[in-house]
Amino acid sequence: MIAYRDATPADAAALAAVFAESFTATFGHLYAAEDLAAFLGGCGEEAWAGELCDPGYRIRVAEEEERIVGFAKLGPPKLPVEPRGPSAELRQLYVLKPWQGAGVAAVLMDWAIATARDEGAQDLYLSVFIENERAKRFYARLGFERIGTYAFPVGNHVDEDDLMRLAL
């Protein structure tokens, strides 16, 4: 059974591991080993610990048998958008492969949307890899609209992401 809770600073190492595993499984084949290593190096336990202690971030985890199997991270907008008012950004939404298709992402997104709305955001922004059709369909079903593109660096490699916005 999957349980959901707010992340705590004690989750930093587990979140770093889940992120690295999920990102590598989904996108690792796109990058040279040194680019992937450089990118993941900036997303380690120390970075997570800082965000978990930062009141500007909200992180929700999905757990099964006390193992984190997915998470959603909200934070202040850093994407190159011109917010129309108070806004939030879905920084990351990752679910490990064995739990994909089990409704975990939907529950985490419901939380992200409700939390952004409860905190006064008018819009929720995110970026998604331009070739990640499954994720783009998921976000479109929730009402997100494409508003532009974003250069997403992974080491020395730069991907093109779609920028999306949901009016809350």
For 34-93, how does the pLDDT look when each residue is reduced to its tens digit (9 = 90+)? Answer: 999 999 999 999 999 999 999 999 999 999 999 999 999 999 999 999 999 999 999 999
- What is the C-alpha to C-alpha distance for residues 124 and 53, in angstroms, rounded to an integer? 22
Q: Please give the tally of structural domains in the chain.
A: 1
The Cα 60–Cα 29 span in angstroms is 27
Paired strand residues for 83: none
Its domain, for residue 43, covers: 3-167
Q: How confident is the model at residue 130, as a pLDDT?
A: 95
Q: Scanning the structure block, which residue is given the tokens 């998604």? A: 128
Q: Give Cα 138 to chain centroid, integer Å.
A: 13
Residue 132 binned pLDDT confidence (cut-offs 50, 70, 90): very high
Rounded-to-integer distance, Cα 140 and Cα 146, Å: 9
CATH code for the domain of 17: 3.40.630.30
Q: Which tokens sit at 42?
A: 């900036």
Nearest to 138 by CA among 167, 82, 100: 100
pLDDT the model gives residue 86 = 97
Bridge partners of 75, per DSSP, are 89
Pairwise CA distance, residues 101 & 143, whole Å: 19
Q: What is the pTM of this model?
A: 0.94
Over residues 1-12, the pLDDT tens digits come to 999 999 999 999
* Average pLDDT value for the chain: 96
